[in-house]
A and B are shown apart, each in its own frame.
Chain A
Amino acid sequence: MSSLYSETILDHYAHPRNWGRLPSPDIVADSDDPSCGDQVHLEISLGPDGRVAQVAFEGEGCMISMASASLFTEHLQGKRIEDLEGLTEEEVLGWLDAPIPPNRRRCALSPLVALRAGLTAYRRAAGG
């Protein structure tokens, strides 16, 4: 059977980390892929030092997109805005610890798509 469905992915899908919403997030972001229905809603609160203090997500979609979003929230903790902006697709795929075939990359990258949309809105609101 497929190694794509690794223990990490199955675990994060069955037990998503940081599920829910934050009281007053600084960054709010959504991704919505109409072709498969993957939806990721991401919220981030920044601490006084400007680093990521809290992350939460909610969503609906395939196992890869949901597990990726759950892992994503864990890896964002403590990062600076610049780190978030420099985040690459390969880094995000690496966190899944499984070979992601080309036709599933989009699923795995949906939290990154959400984050990028959120960062753009955040910069715009900050006048930057």
Chain B
Amino acid sequence: MLDVEQIRSDFPVLSRTVHGYPLVFLDSAASSQKPLPVLEAMERVYQEFYANVHRGIYAFSEEATLAYENARDRVASFINARRREEIVFTRNTTEAINLVAYAWGRANIQPGDRILLTEMEHHSNLVPWQLLTQEKGAQLAYLPITDDGLLRMDLLDSLLDERVKLVAVTMMSNVLGTVNPVREIVRKAHAAGAVVLVDAAQAAPHMPVDVQELDCDFLAFSGHKMCGPTGIGVLYGKEALLEAMPPFLGGGDMIRKVEWESSTWNQLPWKFEAGTPAFVEGIGLGAAVDYLKGIGMENIAAHERELTAYAMERLSSLPGLTIIGPPAHQRGGVVAFIFQGIHPHDIAHMLDMEGIAVRAGHHCAQPLHRRLGLTATVRASFYLYNTAEEVDRLVQALERAGDILGR
């Protein structure tokens, strides 16, 4: 069990009030709050040894470089990568996926090829593939979902024909909360000769992720959703694939030798890290990974499972409330719902008036909402610092919103 009170004391922002009420922060799926060890790690860089990494001869730069590269080691260990060379720092999940779409995609996708996505993908795991297939004369295909928000795994084999070169799938839906059977998808995709990219933006912060066990070829996630700072994300790629890929962005740091007409590339992972990297943020992400590991990803996942089950039970007792997505045991800490025909923006606004932060809208998944016959939903999402009392506050505030706005 987590000592949630102890954890909450690590997050200064959680003690603030909003509109006179204690803050209830239920929007960690969009971006999480930051604990003191992360804030302190970054402040220490700026106050004690800030200097550009990788090229400086002086001691400062050496210290910064060591700290940054040490963060890479910790991230590699966090997802159980075989080698540190397989961890490429990006800005976020979106940039990591775009990197693959650009560098791997342009070299490997031919006219007539297919990329298989699912109906529950976030725009960031959808639009880069639209750009790629449009440019290459290739096609997109979608693994459908059930009305409950589960993947139609029964259709996977028939969709995995010889045209499919890549499968890009989310490990956990940011709307439905569904946790997908990624290992099985990878196994089937590999048997069909396809490469697999896993969008772990919602998974990496909330549950153990082991890239060797999943056997995925690429995996992407963001620092800011897992207690780390904004501006730093991760692309994991199998070494052989990364090695064979052309670079993504060109510039400093990613080169070995530059001539007037051409250049050769730096070794992995720096081949994909052009320009001065967000190394302070990288060091912050290293601290975030340490923090999460210290608490234990299994413990965090168990806490969120319990909270989600409680929230779903309480919410479904409200008349006129419909929860989107599968039952609690098949999802992570995300609960999207509609309520009494009230527009989600109005609900979010009423909740905000009582200090409760939720998200309302399409959550960057417009095609999914259309598939569900909805324009928008309200989403409450949980993290290690949320409590059952906060769920109660949400339910009570919804009751009041229903009294005022419901019809």
Q: Measuring CB to CB, which residues of chain A are less than 8 angstroms from any residue of chain B?
A: 1-2, 4-5, 10, 14, 34-37, 61-64, 104, 107
Q: Are A2 and B350 in contact (CB under 8 A)?
A: yes
Q: Are A62 and B375 in contact (CB under 8 A)?
A: no
Question: How far is the CB of A65 from the nearest CB of chain B, in Å?
Answer: 8
A107 to B349, CA, bound (A): 12
Closest partner residue, chain B, to A5 (CB atom) = B404
A10 to B345, CA, bound (A): 15
Q: Are B375 and A104 in contact (CB under 8 A)?
A: no
Known contacts A37-B375, A63-B405; 10 additional CB pairs below 8 A are A1-B353, A2-B353, A36-B345, A36-B361, A37-B343, A61-B343, A63-B346, A64-B346, A104-B349, A107-B345
A14: chain B residues at CB < 8 Å are 407
With beta carbons under 8 angstroms apart, the residue of A5, A36, A37, A107 that contacts B405 is: A5
With beta carbons under 8 angstroms apart, the residue of B342, B344, B349 that contacts A4 is: B349
The reply on B362 being an interface residue by CB < 8 A is yes
> What is the total number of residues of chain B having a CB less than 8 Å from a CB of chain A?
18
A78 to B353, CA, bound (A): 38
Q: Are B362 and A35 in contact (CB under 8 A)?
A: yes
Q: Using A1-B353, A34-B366 as known contacts, say yes or no to A62 and B400 having CB atoms under 8 A apart.
A: no
A61: chain B residues at CB < 8 Å are 343
Q: Are B407 and A62 in contact (CB under 8 A)?
A: no
The reply on B384 being an interface residue by CB < 8 A is no
Contact with A along B365-401 (1 / 0, CB 8 A): 0100000000110000000000000000000000010
Contact with A along B328-366 (1 / 0, CB 8 A): 000000000000001111100110010000001110001
A55 to B130, CA, bound (A): 42
Sampled A-B contacts (22; CB under 8 Å): A1-B404, A2-B349, A4-B353, A10-B404, A10-B405, A14-B407, A34-B362, A35-B361, A36-B343, A36-B344, A36-B345, A36-B376, A37-B343, A37-B362, A37-B375, A62-B344, A62-B345, A62-B346, A63-B346, A63-B405, A104-B349, A107-B345
Q: Are B376 and A1 in contact (CB under 8 A)?
A: no
Question: How far is the CB of A87 from the nearest CB of chain B, in Å?
Answer: 24
A104: chain B residues at CB < 8 Å are 345, 349
Question: How far is the CB of B323 from the nearest CB of chain A, in Å?
Answer: 19
A104 to B344, CA, bound (A): 12
A31 to B366, CA, bound (A): 18
A62 to B360, CA, bound (A): 11
A48 to B350, CA, bound (A): 45
A34 to B364, CA, bound (A): 11
With beta carbons under 8 angstroms apart, the residue of A1, A35, A36, A107 that contacts B350 is: A1
Q: Using A1-B400, A14-B407 as known contacts, say yes or no to A36 and B375 having CB atoms under 8 A apart.
A: yes
Question: How far is the CB of B320 from the nearest CB of chain A, in Å?
Answer: 16
Question: How far is the CB of B368 from the nearest CB of chain A, in Å?
Answer: 14
A123 to B133, CA, bound (A): 40
Q: Are B343 and A63 in contact (CB under 8 A)?
A: yes
